């Protein structure tokens, strides 16, 4: 007998709660198990399929993190919870200072290491609005209030046929609490070992239910203090080398060498003098790793029964956030200022003078502080109904409108043209050739930079309106064969625009990332079919097919001026799955699916923007006679221009999974799954490491411009291209065991993800390289959780595990020297809770109890030399959480 039986409307609601309870306790429920109870079976919607069904376990593997498991992590945001997931293979982006377009205030998730844009994030089964900083391609997982999350479901295979493009690596479906009754207050505060980083979260949830419907409203306030880089990195280590030639004490370069300005080095904070007369600036001493964050979030779910068979449902969310980040004072580097040979303050004036290129940093007017305001809104309204036609017909129609706005204000940037003008005016003795006192010299420098000070303004707007609908029914309800079907259509209109202030866009401002302007529109049309066929002997076939079409248009600024480009991407993507339950307690399954992702509007239409990327210039540094220890440091920053590419093609992929779930006993279940994913035509930013490597191989590069006099790099031109192919495979293992004793109930759960290979081809003529187990790509991640409860008391011990890795490193300036192994990383967390008699609870916990330090991948200390996307750098963190229900 098939498990996809339509049921009466009255039964439909009553059994949903039963099903949810059973899933929480055992991991899945089988059709035959429910049938033994003599009740009709309720069908529920499960991530991975739009067809409602009995089993939580389907042909696609899904990891479920329920509210109790989320609470047990002790993490403060949904983003942090997801970052600890074993299948978030190589960690996820956590907003850090120094990134433009509002990216410093967002977080994302990166399943299987295939990139954040290859993971689709849903809220209650519907796409979350994308952030403007990602051109709408990525959802900000930190914007979701923790207090409204009922559970998180992670679909661990490609699902473009079911949910649309972007679901290349998998799907995150965040399920919110509904039909809540009463009032609930939550207050939590955490204090990490590192200076700063304190976080406070307060939430208020209330709900009201009637016979006709319900409404819930949740408000959450979140505040986190900044963490300074100097409190994390090993700046007191003798090998610390994160110093910049762009200094608060200007350095001058001419054909005679460096101007000796070392007399001022000891008088200016955070500078170090070296033997060739330069003052180097320690930029990591003043920057914030994580900014100050303050966020207000709102979510409301509501439903109302218009008739016995038609329900109105809606959802409204809003997230209003401010983030304050800080980067070091502006290096005047977009256009290098030059002191002319005839300038009266030229140090070589007495010998006829030489033009001097000036490397200067505007520390005197303050650091680069950025205020980012991020506002996200999402409104959904729809009708859900049932028609007594044939075997029964479920239907729904929805309208959804989303908007994301980012406003960034970058203070203390510098207008290069004004700096040049002021130097030419001969009002400023920047090299102190007249022997002024430090105070008088510093006053002059402050006046110079104040005259050139600029506030960079960036605004990004992403607006989406979607109309969609579906119908589902049981086509065939035989004794041995059943066929269920769902058909649906979607239409979405998207407008995206990001713009910088005119001066930044013109390329005359140092210190910002202005210039990556986008003005584009996109229409998305999709239609899909999904079938589920129940066969004799408890076999089940699932099949889905989807057609999706993107039509987009945007303007691209390039060498030929502004050009309007349009493009169309479309694909038909199928998915096929087979499951078999030879016995009630064992489910075997396999699935295969194609996927694709259309380039986002920023990747196609953004104009050029400026960044500074770290890399070693092996071509110059390995040339005999070239000696410059600072320039030849692997952390040396090079001016790099990034821009869009209107010739991009769509990415394509396919995934295969095979495995099973075994309920060994009522208290013990095991899941084992194998996955294989191929990701072709992958869009990636061309790294400057690859560009410089190709330059050595080819003898030259059109993307590298060098100083004709010195041969050093002036700037590099990078961007995005369809250059990569990724092939990855691995094994997921999950087991959970519950047992009861006279001293309490215990639960043990372990989940492990082992990457067998992670091969990447960085260009069409390159070889596939297996990165699994190398630096930043651990081949093993896992979590172990042990929980205990007895009467009103409970406790938990969890361990986060990240496998050992081998890292490339440099012993000297001659280049690559070998690999070094780094030990595995263990982070242990403990938690204790008490449920008091007044309908509330008190929880206290410590994350990273042993204050485990993340590995650094070099044999010298450096600025941000730990992967903050993968590891916890805040150290031991104590937290307190109070909950009260009324």
Residue 441 located in a structural domain: no
Tens of pLDDT along 840-859? 999 999 999 999 988 876 55
Q: Cβ-count burial of 627 within 10 angstroms (0-12 exposed, 13-18 middle, 19+ buried)?
A: exposed
Residue 754 located in a structural domain: yes
- Residues composing the chain: 886
Tens of pLDDT along 621-663? 989 989 888 788 776 778 887 778 888 899 999 999 999 999 9
Average pLDDT of every residue of the chain = 85
Q: How far apart are the first and last CA of the chain?
A: 45
- pLDDT of 761: 83
Q: How confident is the model at residue 421 (pLDDT cuts 50, 70, 90)?
A: very high
CB 509 within 8 A of CB 334: yes
437: which residues sit within 8 A by CB, 6+ positions away? none
594 and 636 housed in the same domain: no
Final residue in a domain of this structure, among 662, 695, 718: 718
111 and 174 housed in the same domain: yes
705 and 830 housed in the same domain: no
The most confident of the ranges 23-27, 106-110, 492-496 is: 492-496
CATH code at 495? 2.40.170.20
525 and 614 housed in the same domain: no
- pLDDT of 13: 30
Final residue in a domain of this structure, among 695, 718, 741: 718
Distance CA 469, CA 437 (A): 75
Residue 276 located in a structural domain: no
- Taking alpha carbons only, the member of 65, 214, 88 closest to residue 149 is 65
DSSP 743: T
Residue 280 located in a structural domain: no
CB 608 within 8 A of CB 588: no
Q: How confident is the model at residue 101 (pLDDT cuts 50, 70, 90)?
A: low
Q: How confident is the model at residue 56 (pLDDT cuts 50, 70, 90)?
A: low
Helices (H), 490-590: 502-505
Give the pLDDT mean for 769-781.
90
638 and 561 housed in the same domain: no
Residue 264 located in a structural domain: no
629 and 656 housed in the same domain: no
303 and 188 housed in the same domain: yes
Q: How confident is the model at residue 138 (pLDDT cuts 50, 70, 90)?
A: confident
Cα angle vertex 681, ends 614, 172, to 5°?
85
Give the pLDDT mean for 558-587.
85
Greater confidence, 875 or 353? 875
pLDDT for 505 beyond 90: no
Pull the structure tokens for residue 215.
């409404």
- pLDDT of 53: 59
Helices (H), 84-155: none
Q: How confident is the model at residue 21 (pLDDT cuts 50, 70, 90)?
A: very low
135 and 145 housed in the same domain: yes
Tens of pLDDT along 362-389? 999 999 999 999 998 999 999 999 999 9
CB 155 within 8 A of CB 122: no
Distance CA 389, CA 392 (A): 5
Please identify which residue in the block is written with the tokens 């992929």: 653
Distance CA 679, CA 29 (A): 34
Tens of pLDDT along 162-177? 888 888 888 999 998 8
Distance CA 666, CA 661 (A): 13
Tens of pLDDT along 591-618? 999 998 999 888 888 877 667 777 889 8
Q: How confident is the model at residue 763 (pLDDT cuts 50, 70, 90)?
A: low
Distance CA 529, CA 527 (A): 7
702 and 603 housed in the same domain: no
- Taking alpha carbons only, the member of 286, 289, 287, 283 closest to residue 224 is 289
Kindly report the pTM of this predicted structure. 0.84
535 and 663 housed in the same domain: yes
Residue 354 located in a structural domain: no
> How many domains does the chain fold into?
2
Give the pLDDT mean for 796-812.
78
CB 648 within 8 A of CB 743: no
Final residue in a domain of this structure, among 718, 735, 759: 718
Tens of pLDDT along 189-209? 999 999 999 999 999 999 999
Tens of pLDDT along 426-440? 999 999 999 999 999
Greater confidence, 756 or 240? 756
pLDDT for 45 beyond 60: yes
CB 661 within 8 A of CB 57: yes
Q: How many CB atoms lie within 10 A of CB 52?
A: 19
CB 128 within 8 A of CB 139: yes
678 and 694 housed in the same domain: no
Q: How confident is the model at residue 14 (pLDDT cuts 50, 70, 90)?
A: very low
Distance CA 649, CA 567 (A): 9
36 and 185 housed in the same domain: yes
Distance CA 26, CA 44 (A): 16
Q: How confident is the model at residue 52 (pLDDT cuts 50, 70, 90)?
A: low
- pLDDT of 774: 86
Q: How confident is the model at residue 41 (pLDDT cuts 50, 70, 90)?
A: very low
Determine phi and psi for 744, rounding to 5 degrees.
135, 170
Residue 39 located in a structural domain: yes
DSSP 774: B
Range of the structural domain that residue 628 is part of: 609-642+686-718
Residue 685's beta-bridge partner residues?
A: 720
- pLDDT of 28: 34
Residue 356 located in a structural domain: no
CB 733 within 8 A of CB 751: yes
Helices (H), 345-494: 416-424, 438-452
Q: How many CA atoms lie within 13 A of 541 on its CB side?
A: 9
- pLDDT of 139: 82
Q: How confident is the model at residue 764 (pLDDT cuts 50, 70, 90)?
A: low
């Amino acid at each position: 007998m098939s498990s996809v039986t339509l049921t009466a409307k009255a039964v439909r609601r009553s059994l949903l709660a039963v099903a949810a309870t059973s899933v929480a306790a055992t991991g899945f429920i089988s059709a035959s198990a429910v049938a033994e109870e003599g009740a009709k079976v309720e069908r529920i919607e499960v991530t991975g399929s739009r067809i409602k069904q009995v089993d939580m376990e389907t042909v696609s593997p899904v990891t479920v993190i329920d509210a109790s498991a989320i609470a047990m992590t002790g993490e403060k945001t949904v983003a942090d919870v997801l970052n600890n997931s074993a299948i978030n293979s190589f960690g996820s982006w956590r907003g850090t200072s120094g990134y433009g377009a509002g990216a410093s205030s967002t977080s994302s998730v990166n399943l299987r290491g295939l990139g954040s844009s290859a993971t689709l994030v849903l809220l209650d089964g519907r796409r979350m609005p994308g952030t403007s900083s990602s051109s709408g391609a990525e959802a900000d997982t930190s914007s979701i209030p923790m207090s409204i999350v009922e559970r998180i479901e992670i679909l661990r295979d490609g699902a473009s046929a079911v949910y649309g493009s972007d679901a290349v690596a998998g799907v995150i479906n965040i399920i919110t609490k509904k039909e809540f009754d009463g009032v609930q207050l939550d207050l939590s505060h955490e204090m990490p070992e590192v200076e700063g980083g304190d976080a406070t979260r307060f939430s208020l949830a209330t709900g009201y239910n009637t016979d006709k419907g319900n409404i819930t409203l949740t408000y959450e306030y979140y505040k986190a203090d900044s963490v300074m880089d100097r409190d994390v990195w090993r700046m007191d280590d003798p090998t610390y080398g994160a110093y910049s030639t762009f200094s608060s004490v200007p350095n001058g370069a001419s054909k005679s060498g460096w101007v000796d300005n070392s007399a001022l080095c000891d008088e200016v904070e955070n500078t170090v003098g070296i033997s060739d007369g330069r003052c180097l600036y320690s930029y990591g001493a003043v920057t914030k790793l994580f900014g100050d964050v303050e966020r207000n979030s709102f979510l409301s779910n509501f439903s109302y029964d218009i008739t016995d068979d038609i329900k109105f449902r809606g959802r409204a969310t809003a997230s209003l956030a401010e983030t304050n980040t800080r980067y070091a004072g502006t290096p005047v580097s977009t256009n290098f200022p030059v002191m002319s040979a005839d300038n009266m303050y030229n140090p070589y004036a007495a010998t006829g003078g030489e033009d001097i290129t000036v490397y200067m940093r505007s520390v005197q007017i303050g650091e680069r502080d950025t205020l980012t305001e991020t506002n996200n809104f999402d409104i959904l309204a729809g009708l859900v109904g049932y028609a007594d036609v044939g075997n029964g017909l479920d239907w729904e129609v929805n309208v959804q409108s989303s908007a994301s706005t980012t406003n960034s204000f970058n203070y203390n940037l510098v207008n290069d043209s004004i700096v040049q003008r002021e130097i030419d005016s001969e009002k400023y003795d920047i090299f102190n050739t007249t022997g002024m006192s430090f105070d008088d010299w510093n006053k002059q420098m402050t006046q110079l930079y104040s005259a050139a000070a600029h506030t960079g303004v960036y605004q990004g707007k992403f607006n989406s309106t979607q109309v969609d609908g579906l119908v589902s029914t049981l086509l065939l309800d035989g004794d041995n064969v059943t066929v269920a079907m769902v058909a649906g259509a979607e239409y979405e209109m998207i407008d995206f625009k990001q713009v910088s202030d005119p001066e930044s866009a013109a390329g005359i401002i140092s210190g910002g990332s202005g210039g990556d302007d986008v003005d584009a529109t996109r229409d998305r049309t999709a239609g899909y079919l999904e079938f589920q066929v129940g066969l004799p002997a408890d076999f089940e076939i699932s099949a889905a097919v989807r057609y999706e079409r993107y039509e987009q248009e945007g303007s691209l600024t390039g060498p030929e001026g502004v050009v309007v480009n349009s493009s169309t991407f479309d694909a038909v993507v199928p998915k096929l799955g087979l499951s078999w339950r030879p016995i009630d307690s064992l489910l075997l399954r396999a699935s295969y699916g194609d996927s694709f992702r259309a380039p986002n509007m920023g990747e196609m239409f953004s104009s050029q923007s400026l960044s500074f990327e770290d890399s070693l210039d092996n071509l110059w540094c390995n040339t005999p006679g070239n000696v410059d220890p600072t320039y030849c440091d692997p952390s040396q920053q090079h001016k790099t221009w990034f821009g869009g590419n209107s010739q991009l093609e769509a990415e394509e992929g396919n995934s295969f999974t095979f495995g099973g779930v075994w309920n060994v006993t009522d208290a013990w279940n095991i899941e084992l799954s194998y996955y294989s994913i191929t990701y072709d035509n992958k869009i990636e930013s061309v790294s400057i490491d690859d560009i410089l490597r190709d330059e050595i191989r080819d003898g030259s590069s059109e993307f590298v411009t060098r100083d004709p006099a010195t041969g050093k790099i002036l700037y590099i031109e990078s961007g995005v291209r369809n250059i990569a192919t990724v092939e990855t495979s691995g094994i997921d293992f999950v087991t959970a065991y519950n047992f009861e004793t006279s001293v309490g109930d215990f639960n043990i759960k372990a989940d492990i993800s082992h990457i067998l290979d992670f091969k990447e081809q960085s260009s069409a003529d390159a070889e596939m390289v297996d990165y699994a187990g190398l630096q930043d790509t651990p081949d093993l991640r896992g979590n172990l959780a042990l929980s205990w409860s007895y009467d009103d008391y409970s406790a938990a011990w969890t361990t986060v595990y990240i496998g050992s890795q081998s890292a490339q490193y440099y012993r000297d300036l001659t280049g690559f020297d070998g690999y070094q192994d780094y030990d595995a990383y263990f982070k242990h967390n403990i938690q204790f809770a008490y449920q008091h008699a007044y309908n509330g609870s008190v929880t206290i916990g410590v994350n990273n109890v042993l204050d485990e330090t993340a590995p650094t991948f070099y044999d010298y200390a450096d600025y941000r030399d730990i992967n903050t996307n993968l590891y916890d750098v805040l150290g031991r963190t104590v937290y307190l959480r109070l909950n009260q229900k009324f």
